[in-house]
Amino acid sequence: MWPYLWVALGSALGGVSRFFVAAWAGEKLGAAWLGTVVVNVTGSFIIGFIAALGPVPFARQLFIVGVLGGYTTFSSFSLQTLELAHEGRWLAAGANVLLSVFVALVAVWLGHVCGAAIRR
């Protein structure tokens, strides 16, 4: 049960951090979407840094899955892609990038179309 509590606590902290950082950076950079880019890039850097420190179960639960999972799932995607590349699984790494980005864009478009149809 404790791991779930740590993940929940970390997720709450990460979500609040994402909201703050994205709003602050978006305001400073003059575009809300740039705030999201800042969150994705900083989250990816931090998850890479923590992962490189080695396996620490508590840190993984609280920081990688919890805080960074709440802060940005893009960081998890980036770490998984890097791990696939380190394993020499280049096809899987490329597929992860292509499918995650392309399919997610198609999914968000399709969701938008369905939501707009219901709204009418």
pLDDT 10s per residue in the chain (120 long)?
A: 788 998 999 999 999 999 999 999 999 999 998 998 999 999 989 988 888 888 878 877 788 889 998 998 788 889 889 999 999 999 999 999 999 899 888 988 998 999 889 988
Gap between the Cα atoms of 91 and 38, Å rounded:
28
Do 60 and 46 meet the contact criterion of CB atoms below 8 Å apart?
no
Angle between helices 73-86 and 32-52 (to 10 degrees): 50
